[in-house]
Amino acid sequence: MKRLILTRHAKSSWDDPLMADHDRPLNERGKMAAADLGDWLASRGYVPDEVFCSDALRTRKTWSGLAPALPGTPILTLKPALYHAGADVMLAVLRHATTNTVMMIGHNPGIAEFAARLVARPPVNPEFARYPTGATLVADFEIADWAKLDWHMGAVVDFVVPRELVG
């Protein structure tokens, strides 16, 4: 059994319109959402052994915002290939995972397509197709090795968007 925690980066800042997209930080709402996501993951026992994270600043800050709530020290690997990656690239990256529970932090539109193509049946949540900032899917796969992963093999365990965690 393998588990994927698939997270789109939290809300980023557009305060500086001249800033390169790759260098955009999180805004205040995004920082709070990342912390809330960390608490949510920890409270449900969704703890990665390994993290594949786009090397963009907003994905790295999403990880550093949620990581303090999680027990242990997962292996963090920054993956430049995940920056604005399409679904096929994300699948290729995940097939190289070596642990049972993997977290992947990336960007839309690729992450929404990746999530939709990975699961056999989508969760009953109107936000799933849009995969807004901070959206997080937890899916299980009946495989012994990530290299065997293919489309529509995932069973949804959970799905949340940050606004559902407020209050």
2-12+22-120+137-164 CATH fold: Rossmann fold (3.40.50)
Residues with Cβ within 8 Å of 9's Cβ and at least 6 positions away in sequence, in order, are 26, 30, 54, 56, 58, 59, 61, 62, 105, 106, 107, 133, 134
Note down pLDDT in tens along the chain; length 167 residues: 999 999 999 999 888 888 898 999 999 999 999 999 999 999 999 999 999 999 999 999 999 999 999 998 899 999 999 999 999 999 999 999 999 999 999 999 999 999 999 999 999 999 999 999 999 999 999 999 999 999 999 999 999 999 999 75
* Residue extents of the structural domains in the chain: 2-12+22-120+137-164
Token pair 């529970």: residue: 101
The model's pTM is 0.96
Sheet holding 75-79, edge to edge: 75-79, 50-54, 101-106, 2-8, 136-141, 154-160
**What are the counts of helices (DSSP H) followed by strands (DSSP E) for the chain?**
4, 6
Helix axes 57-66, 28-44, angle to 10 degrees: 50
Closest CA to 46 of 16, 66, 20: 66
Tokens of 70: 């999680």
